[in-house]
Amino acid sequence: MCGIVGMVGGSDETLLRRMCAAIKHRGPDDEGVYLDPNAPAGLGMVRLSIIDLAGGRQPMTDEHQRYRLVFNGEIYNHQALRKELEARGHRFTSNADTEVIVHLYEDVQERCVEYLNGDFAFAIWDTVERRLFLARDRLGVKPLYYWHHGQRFAFASELKALLQLPEVPRDIDLEALDRYLTFLYIPAPHSIFTQVKKLPPACRLTFDDGQARVERYWQPPQPSPHRGRPSADLEEAIVERLTEAVRLRLMSDVPLGAFLSGGIDSSCVVALMSRCSPGRVKTFSLGFAPPDDSYNELPSARLAAQAFQTDHREFLITPDIAALLPQAVWHLDEPFADSSSLLTFLISREARRAVTVALTGIGGDELFGGYPRYLGAWASQSYAYLPAPVRRGLAAAAGMLPESVQSRNVAGWLKRFLQEGTQPLELRYLHWRSYFSAALKTGLYTDDIQASLNGADPYAASRALLRELPGNELDRLNALDLQTYLPDDLLVMGDKMSMAHGLEVRVPFCDHELVELVAAIPLRQRLRGFRLKGLLKHAVRGLLPEALLCKPKQGFMLPLGAWLRGPLAPLCRDILGAEPIRRRGLFRPEAVGRLVEAHVRGEATLTHQVYALLVLELWCRRYLEGDDG
C-alpha cells in the first residue's frame, strides 16, 4: 500500500516532495521521487511496506530503463504473472508485485490491467513517447484524483496532495455539493472542486500531447438465470471462489488480521481466514455500552471469535468524538457524511497497534443483496398494482409514522416506502438512497446558490447509468450500487480511514472473479426465500454458527442521532450557528437553525442531515480557510 503522485508539463522536486509529504500517512516506511531529465515530468510515492520489504522501492523501472512506475495496492496473482513474464525473457530485480506491472506493460501496454487480479491505482511514464498512463482497479478499491489544464496534468492518491500545486484552484463545484447533500458523498468522476476529477473504477487514462483520454476496460456481467447449473453446484462455486479470494489476500510479509463486526460478511472472511492461516487470526471489534447498546454487535462478534478461536480484541466507543471529527474530515479529502467513517477510523487506529493489514467484509451487501431496500424494491413491483388513489392515501398517512434513532428504524423504512409509493421504481429507489429532498435543499440554499444550480438534477448521472445497465429493474438497481455506492462511499471510507493510520485494508468480496460469478446471478436468486443474502446464507450454512445466520441485519453504525441530541448538541449549535453559516454564503442561517433545533429537540429525526451540514462546515474551515481545528 502506498500513496502516489506525479505531474506532466512541469517537474519540480520540491513540489513533488511536498505532495508526498501531504500523504505521508499512506506510506510511512519509504519515499521515492523520479524526475525525467529530458522532459517536464516527475513521479513520487510514499510506501507502506507489505511485500519484499527491502526490494520493493519505487519509482520502479524495467530492464531497459524506458518506463517509470509508481503503484498503490496489491497484485494478488503476481507470482503466476511473474513466471509467465520470466518465460518470455523478462529479468526481475525484486520479489515485489510492483515489478510485474512494469514488465507486463512492456509487453501489452494499456491492456496490462486486464491481466491483473488485485486492488490498484498506478501510473507509468514512458520516457520515449513522453506519455503518461494511469489505471484504477475494477471495483475502485484504490483512489486516484487528477487535474488537467492545458499542457499541465497532475495526479495523486488523495486530493490534499494535488492541492499542494499552486495552480489548482479551490473553486467549489456546486453541482458536486448538491450531490453531496443528496447522497452524503460525491460520485466519481466529480470531486468537490471544479477542476479536479476522480478516475472512475475500471478505467484507464492516457495523457499524451496535452490530451487526456479515459476509457472503461471492464464491466460486471449481465445477470442470467443459472438454469443449467444445480443450486448446490452454484453455492459450492461461490464458497470456493470466496475462499480463494480470502487466501490470496493473506499474501503479506507483515502481520495481518480482520475487522469482525459479527455480521455475515466479516464472519465469513474470518472463518475462511482461520481455515487458510496456520496460526490464530487476530480480530478487532467495536461496541457500545448502554444506553447505546441497540447498535452493539459485540455479542455476535464474540460468538464468531469463539467459533473460530481468534485472538480477539474489543473496544468500546463513547460520544466524546468532537476532537476526532476534524481529523476524519481532513483525511477524507472531500465532504463525506457517512458517519460509519468514524467507526472505521477508530477500529483502524486500534488494529494498527497489532497489525499492518486487515481484511474486511466490505462489498458483501452489494454483491449478495444485503440491504432492506432490495426487498423494498422487490415488494414495490407488487405494490404498484394497488390503485393509484390508494397509494396516494397511504403516502399521505405515512407522515404520521414515527422515526427512531435506534439502529433498526423499521418505522422509518416503512414510512419512506409508502411516501415514495406513487413514484416509478427507479426514482423511488434513488429517493430511498437520498438524504436531503429537493424541497429541503430549496429551503436551505441561498438565492444565489439556487440560481447557480439552475435546477440541476443530482440523479441525472444515476438515471443515465440505469438506462445503460442490462437486466431487469431489480438487477439494474443492484448494479447501480455496485458501481456507485460501493466505490464512492464504502471503499472511500475503507481506504482513507485505514490509511489515516498506515493500515492496509483488503476486501475479499471485491475480488473481481467473485464479482463476475455472483453478479451474473439475478438479484431475486441472491435474495433466496425473500431473505437478505439468502443465497449466501444457504451457501455458508456449514461454515458459520446458526445463530449468526439467523440474526437480523444490523449496519455498521454510530448512535449518532442520540448523540446529536445529547452530548454533541452544543457542538452542532456552535459550528452551525447563524454567523458561521451566513459567512459561508451557501445556506440560509435561519433554515439551518430550524433543522438543527428540530432534531435536537426531538421534533424530527434529521440525524444524517445535521451531520452532513456539520461535516461540510468543518471541511470548509479546513480546506478553504486552512483551519487545523
Average pLDDT of the segment spanning 539-568: 88
The residue type at 440: L
Q: What percent of the chain has pLDDT over 90?
A: 76
Nearby residues of 247 by Cβ (< 8 Å), 6 or more positions away: 272, 276
Q: What is the pLDDT of residue 346?
A: 93
pLDDT tens digits, one per residue of 441-474 = 999 999 999 999 999 999 999 999 999 998 899 9
DSSP 485-552: HIIIIIHHHHHHHHHTTT-EEE-GGG-HHHHHHHTTS-HHHHTGGG-TTHHHHHHTTTTS-HHHHHSP
* Active-site residue, 572 included: no
Q: What is the pLDDT of residue 130?
A: 97
Average pLDDT of the segment spanning 279-286: 95
Average pLDDT score over the chain: 92
Query: Does domain 231-368+481-550 match CATH 3.40.50.620?
Result: yes
Grid coordinates of 51: 511485500
End-to-end alpha-carbon separation of the chain, Å?
28
Nearby residues of 492 by Cβ (< 8 Å), 6 or more positions away: 143, 185, 332, 336
Contact call for residues 153 and 212 (beta carbons, < 8 A):
yes
Higher-confidence residue of 626 and 180: namely: 180
Which of 3.40.50.620, 3.40.718.10, 3.60.20.10, 3.50.50.60 would CATH assign to domain 2-216?
3.60.20.10
pLDDT tens digits, one per residue of 115-162 = 999 999 999 999 999 999 999 999 999 999 999 999 999 999 999 999
Residue recorded with cell 495481518: 256
Are 2-216 and 231-368+481-550 in the same CATH fold?
no
Distance of CA 359 to the CA centre of its chain: 14
For the chain, the domains span 2-216, 231-368+481-550, 559-629
Contact call for residues 615 and 336 (beta carbons, < 8 A):
yes
β-strand 152-156 against 282-287: which pairing, if any? unpaired
Q: What is the pLDDT of residue 629?
A: 46
pTM to 2 decimal places: 0.94
> Catalytic one among 2, 510, 572, 620?
2
pLDDT tens digits, one per residue of 298-338 = 999 999 999 999 999 999 887 677 788 999 999 999 999 99
DSSP 192-261: SBTTEEEPPTTEEEEEETTEEEEEE---PPPP---TTS-HHHHHHHHHHHHHHHHHHTT--SS-EEEE--
Q: What is the pLDDT of residue 626?
A: 79
